[in-house]
Structure 1
Amino acid sequence: MKPMKTKLTTYCFALLTLLLTACQTETKEKVDLAITNAYVIHLETGKVELQDIYILDGKIKAIKTAQSEQTFEADSTIDATGKYVLPGFWDNHIHLRGGDSLIANNKNFLKLFIANGVTTVRDAGGDLTPSVMDWKSQIAKEKLIGPTIFTAGPKIDGPNSTWAGSLEVQSDEDVENALDSLEKLQVDFVKLYDSRISAENYLKSIARAEERGLVVSGHMPFTVTLDETIEAGMDGIEHLYYIMKGCANNEVEVTEKLKNGEMGFWGAMPALMDAYADSTAQKTFTQLKENDVFVVPTLHIGKTLSYLDEVDHSNDPYLKYMGKGIIKTYEGRIKGALNASEEARENRKQLDAFFGELAKSLNTAGVSMLAGSDCGAFNSYVYPGISLHKELEAMVANGISPLDALRTSAHHGAQFLKQTEDYGGISEGKVSDLVILEGNPLEDITHTQKMYSVVKGTQVFSKQQLQEFLNNAVMD
């Protein structure tokens, strides 16, 4: 009987081992969310892959081939069959501003961004820094619904500057003090403006910001050349006026006239446009590319403002979200457009068409561009959230491929702000800021507006919730 007992013991041990192994095999790693059967658009390569995305604690835990055997168990699942996933959109040029009376209006913008899948914004200077910093903190803690905010805080400009809240510099000491102030505020980048700043202080501000390791972008006074701006260390050029200047073979001549007061900013536009030279432009494009300078073309606002004298915006769907205070700030640009001479109106429209061609040339040359809407108070009829999609449409309308246009949003935005560890693509370890679309934006760029769901860190917003954000954003 002893041999039989040994065999029985061996059999029981083997059975126990088999059961333990089976239990271990069945144990799956817990995750918060699974997005399954999705067409994932990888902006780095342009590839579209059918994949499952697993999210834990607001970050992408894993990406696997769809329907393959997985070791994850999700608390909730989104079946994304037939849908397209890409990083949440970035609007790389917005403004949160307008004074204390417009704090509530600006806070209302935050819902509009999320409703449009804009999960990150770059606030390019304003006068509401305490409120913006508070919102930024609350959003990061998921106590407030809104996009991740990267902000410049107040702009740097010269004395008697155009925009309220600007840090006005007239000396070396002023430049240092302004940068000290911005570092104390813990801004994410430095924004320079060109309304009153001298050429010397402008270039010095760039150079000193770079020495401190700060990202710096801005306008460019026409009293300096684009070469000088790039050589000083500028990281980003906001708008195409300054790029056009650097592409004209009369840039030095025009710069001297501006210095001497013989010509104004708008008076220089036709002269620079007429003097555009492809050979000069190609050298400029190469210089921008070699120095990793990003360009923000802001095409949508350019067209909107160029045609204020022709287009009736009174029935714009987004006007009801702005509130009377924001709409009041639109009056300045509207009056300027309506009171302009016929020649000035025509010049503005020609410039708009020219900028579309220039943006296409920059893209063809491989210069990195950033999609930015320039939405905010004072910028008439350019609405938070939806205007980012209009900017992408404008790029494609001017001959830029949908893939390259999409790259100018989250992918390039993360590169510019040196945030690629967390943002800019869909890969393991990155923050789970994602949009799920009902159509393929690579085939039709307007499909960026077909939101099925938005994932913002650990927050998941359904199509119905996104519509509720819009419904709740209506202001008197």
Structure 2
Amino acid sequence: MKKSLRACLVFFISATLISCQNGKSEQEKKVYSTATVITAVNIIDIHDGSISKGDVVIDSGRIKEILPNLPEKDWEDGELINGEGKYLLPGLAEMHAHIPSVMWNDPQMEETLFLYLSNGVTTIRGMLGHPLHLELRTKAANNEILSPRIYTSSPSLNGNTVTSPEMAKEMVTNYQKEGYDFLKLHPGIRLHVFDEIVKTAKEVGIPYAGHVSTLVGIRHALESGYASVDHIDGFLEGLVPESAHVNPTENGFFGYNFTEKADPDLIAELAQMAKENKVWVVPTQSLFTRWFSPTPTERLAEEPEMQYMAKEVIENWVNNKNNLTESEDYDAGQWEDFMLIRKQLIKALHKNGYGLLLGSDAPQVFNVPGFSIQHELQAMVDAGLSPLEALQIGTLNPAKYFHQEGHFGEIIEGASADLILLDQNPLKDIKNMQHPAGVMVRGKWLSRETIDQKLKALSDKFKEATP
């Protein structure tokens, strides 16, 4: 690269500072021979939304330094990424992700992990674990594969897989020993079995998260100390007064059948319970704005991002949605009321609960990995969060959830270099998160050109496979 006529030459790989004959400051003379530097970029402080212009130096997968942008600074031998006029923010966490149960070197695995990265998702919390995911987690951590950072649940604990307290004790103990990050709870667990899961999990030291079984109920679930309740599951049922005498097992799709019986005045109580018991909530609102919405399947199936999924997957999604929303029990007006209550819950749990975590449930019906996080961000804004708050629940909050504050989720020196480069300010419009100019995951840079090439190859693959 050309050297500034006014800059000094420095040749130590270790970035040692030496005296400069023309009197430049020490800061202006740093040289990193193996570094990547994002120059002259608008750096977003995810804590308060303030923006400062600077140079971000990345080395060995971490943010080494953040320096004020000085036009006379000279970088030697490093990879320079021009950030002029662009905006930099931390990579996002998809806190309700799904990972294929195939070998790490299977094309389906590589494609799914890349789709997350293509939209700036640099951390995923896998919500349906498999023994293969333990190996995958290690390979991702060691940068042996191109992948977001991975946290993985155990295989599902549900009404069919765990039917007695004895089974609960054995399975929880084994999953903890095998090294899963947390337990995944699905519906159908009976109350006395659930209580044994909780008791054993606390004894062996493994968190539990996911669904709330109808025989457990949201209040007992919150008091039992879930790490997170996903989908806002059980909350709408918890808004139904006891005087309504409903059968909890007749709740329908996440409480939809009880929409007209729900009392919004009870929202504050449930938010306070979540706060007192330190229970995070993952809304997965895009699941309800897409899969469970009156939006015609034909329109969703024609969205550009669907080209990155196999034809048979799209066909399956069409059938799943039609089976759900074309039944006699489905009413678009009731869906509107249902969604209004969910938005009220989201806002209350964000403002007065323990906090929200960004998650879209992907891949799921019309939720393409990576792309669905864009729908989720918009859904959070539509529910009353500011763009900054929506971004915080995908950055700062996940780091806090995993007890990794300062390690990822913010742009500070020493943190993992998980970054999103954008052409426009996402704090002004959350839609500016779409189509990033580049993504960095643990120091590995994916330019827009690279992302587009990989996406095109994936699209071409599925086009060729279509009869």
Shorter-chain TM range is 0.7 to 0.9
Q: Residue 27 and residue 69 in structure 1: after superposition, are their counterparts in 2 closer, same or farther (change >3 A)?
A: closer
2:162 to 163, 169, 185: 169
- For 2:337, the equivalent position in structure 1 comes to 350
CA distance in 2, matches of 1:69, 1:176: 64
Matched, 1:115 2:118: yes
8 Å CA contact retained: 1:38, 1:85: yes
Matched, 1:360 2:344: no
CA distance in 2, matches of 1:68, 1:245: 59
Give the share of equivalent positions with the same residue, in percent.
26
TM-score of the aligned structures, taking structure 2 as reference length = 0.85
- For 1:303, the equivalent position in structure 2 comes to 289
CA distance in 2, matches of 1:349, 1:267: 14
8 Å CA contact retained: 2:97, 2:127: yes
Deviation at 1:303, TM superposition (A): 1.2
Q: Supply the AA of the counterpart residue of 1:352.
A: M
- For 1:143, the equivalent position in structure 2 comes to 144
Q: Supply the AA of the counterpart residue of 1:396.
A: V
Deviation at 1:130, TM superposition (A): 3.9
- For 1:153, the equivalent position in structure 2 comes to 154
Secondary structure, counterpart of 1:154 in structure 2: strand
Secondary structure, counterpart of 1:451 in structure 2: coil
- For 2:64, the equivalent position in structure 1 comes to 61
1:186-244 CA-to-partner distances (Å, cap 9, x unmatched) read: 222221111x3112222332343233332321100111232211221111010124222
8 Å CA contact retained: 1:215, 1:417: no
- For 2:15, the equivalent position in structure 1 comes to none
CA distance in 2, matches of 1:149, 1:134: 10
Q: Residue 81 and residue 348 in structure 1: after superposition, are their counterparts in 2 closer, same or farther (change >3 A)?
A: same
Q: Supply the AA of the counterpart residue of 1:307.
A: S
Deviation at 1:95, TM superposition (A): 1.5
Q: Residue 52 and residue 266 in structure 1: after superposition, are their counterparts in 2 closer, same or farther (change >3 A)?
A: closer
Q: 1:332-343 maps to which residues of 2 (within 5 A)? A: 333-337=320-324, 339-341=326-328, 343=330
Deviation at 1:444, TM superposition (A): 0.5
8 Å CA contact retained: 2:294, 2:332: no
Q: Residue 421 and residue 21 in structure 1: after superposition, are their counterparts in 2 closer, same or farther (change >3 A)?
A: closer
CA distance in 2, matches of 1:66, 1:373: 36
1:147-181 CA-to-partner distances (Å, cap 9, x unmatched) read: 1221113121122xxxxxxxx22223312221233
- For 2:234, the equivalent position in structure 1 comes to 242
- For 1:206, the equivalent position in structure 2 comes to 198
CA distance in 2, matches of 1:135, 1:216: 21
Q: 1:412-427 maps to which residues of 2 (within 5 A)? A: 412-427=397-412
Q: Residue 402 and residue 74 in structure 1: after superposition, are their counterparts in 2 closer, same or farther (change >3 A)?
A: farther
1:256-286 CA-to-partner distances (Å, cap 9, x unmatched) read: x33xx6x4545953435533232x2212212
- For 2:358, the equivalent position in structure 1 comes to 371
Deviation at 1:115, TM superposition (A): 1.4
Give the number of aligned pairs: 437
Q: Residue 175 and residue 361 in structure 1: after superposition, are their counterparts in 2 closer, same or farther (change >3 A)?
A: same
Structure 2: give runs of 5+ residues left out of the alignment: 1-17
Secondary structure, counterpart of 2:420 in structure 1: strand
8 Å CA contact retained: 1:36, 1:80: yes
8 Å CA contact retained: 2:173, 2:200: no
Matched, 1:380 2:380: no
Q: Residue 107 and residue 203 in structure 1: after superposition, are their counterparts in 2 closer, same or farther (change >3 A)?
A: farther
Matched, 1:443 2:435: no
Q: Supply the AA of the counterpart residue of 1:211.
A: E
- For 2:301, the equivalent position in structure 1 comes to 314
Deviation at 1:111, TM superposition (A): 1.5
CA distance in 1, matches of 2:60, 2:254: 54
CA distance in 1, matches of 2:292, 2:444: 39
1:357-395 CA-to-partner distances (Å, cap 9, x unmatched) read: 32123223254111111112xx32111111001100111
Secondary structure, counterpart of 1:85 in structure 2: strand
Q: Supply the AA of the counterpart residue of 1:334.
A: K
Deviation at 1:51, TM superposition (A): 2.3
Matched, 1:287 2:290: no
Structure 1: give runs of 5+ residues left out of the alignment: 1-19, 160-167
CA distance in 2, matches of 1:410, 1:267: 27
- For 2:385, the equivalent position in structure 1 comes to 400
Matched, 1:133 2:163: no
Q: Supply the AA of the counterpart residue of 2:186.
A: Y
CA distance in 2, matches of 1:362, 1:458: 34
Matched, 1:34 2:37: yes
1:386-408 CA-to-partner distances (Å, cap 9, x unmatched) read: 10011001111222100110011
- For 2:441, the equivalent position in structure 1 comes to 456
Q: Supply the AA of the counterpart residue of 2:267.
A: A
- For 2:3, the equivalent position in structure 1 comes to none
Q: Residue 453 and residue 183 in structure 1: after superposition, are their counterparts in 2 closer, same or farther (change >3 A)?
A: same
CA distance in 1, matches of 2:180, 2:147: 18
Secondary structure, counterpart of 2:377 in structure 1: helix
Q: Residue 380 and residue 417 in structure 1: after superposition, are their counterparts in 2 closer, same or farther (change >3 A)?
A: same
Query: Whose helix proportion is higher, 1 or 2?
Result: 1
Deviation at 1:421, TM superposition (A): 4.0
- For 1:105, the equivalent position in structure 2 comes to 108
